[in-house]
Amino acid sequence: MTELDIEGITRIDERITTRYRPEVWEQRVSYYIRRDAESSQVAEVNGSVAGFMMGEVRGGEFGLEEPTGWIEFFGVDPDVRGRDLGRKLIDAILAHFRDQGAHIARTMVASADTDIAGFLKAMQFTPAAVAALEKRL
């Protein structure tokens, strides 16, 4: 992923959420580029960004000391779904996580988001032995 993918990622987000949020994706892309430019991935179809997956290896969060590959943002253009882009993106980011010394990848998914949950299950992600907790403020 490079800074030239921002426009394409913004476009995919807009297609999925109907919100145009370039400044949000500029901040996110710049963060991941700065942290590890080779970690986050994009998939292209006919020269245009058709999918993205952002994440990085971190350790020490939530008491999880081991280096963990965190997958934090991803999306695939609805027009090109069904071409296995999600699998290719996840294979690429997991390979990079392994190169960075991570032996486990983690992510979180809203329980109502059955499409993403189904995708992650198909990618052999299983429920973790940690619970996501929240408190409304």
Partner 1 sequence: MSDQQHQLPRQYHDAVLHWQRHNFPDFPRLAEQWDTYFPKDDAFCLCARIQQNMPDRIEVGERAGQPKAVVPKELDPKAAEELLAIIRAQASTEFGSIQQHQATLARASDPQDQAWVLRVMAEELRHGYQMIHLLTSADWSPVTDTKPQDMVEEILSMKTGSHVLAAFNLEYDSFVDNVVFAAFIDRVGKYQLTMQKVNAYKPMAASMPPMLREEAFHLAAGVIPMRRWAEAAAQPDALITMPAMQRAVYKWYGRGLEMFGDERGGKTNVRLGLKDKTNRVAQDEYIAEVDRMLDDINQRYVRARFPQLSRDDADALYARVKGDRGTIDGVSWDEDLLKLPHPGFFRRRGEYAFQMIGVDGSKFDDVERYIEHVRDHLPEAYLASIDVKHWAELQRGVANGTVPLETALKSMPRLARVGGACPCANSVRWVVDVEVPANGGQETRLNP
Nearer to partner 1, 29 or 120 (CB): 29
**Cβ proximity of 41 and 52 under 8 Å:** yes
Place of tokens 């992923």: 1
- According to CB under 8 A, which one of 79, 91, 99, 113 is a site residue for partner 1? 99
The answer for residues whose C-beta is within 8 angstroms of residue 10's C-beta and 6 or more apart is 20, 21, 22, 25
Q: Does 38 bind partner 1 (CB under 8 A)?
A: yes
Q: Does 103 sit near partner 1 (CB under 8 A)?
A: no
- The angle formed by the CA atoms of residues 119, 122 and 126, to the nearest 5 degrees, is 95
Distances (CA, A) of 132 to 49, 54, 114, 126: 32, 20, 17, 14
| Of residues 67 and 123, the one with the C-beta less far from partner 1 | 67
Beta-carbon contacts of residue 65 (< 8 Å; ≥ 6 apart): 59
**Residues binding partner 1: what is the number (CB under 8 A)?**
24
- Binds partner 1 (CB under 8 A): choice among 100, 109, 119, 123: 100
**Closest approach of partner 1 to the CB of residue 38, in Å:** 7
- Which residues contribute to the site for partner 1 (CB under 8 A)? 2-4, 6-7, 11, 14-15, 20, 22-23, 26, 29-30, 33-38, 58, 99-101
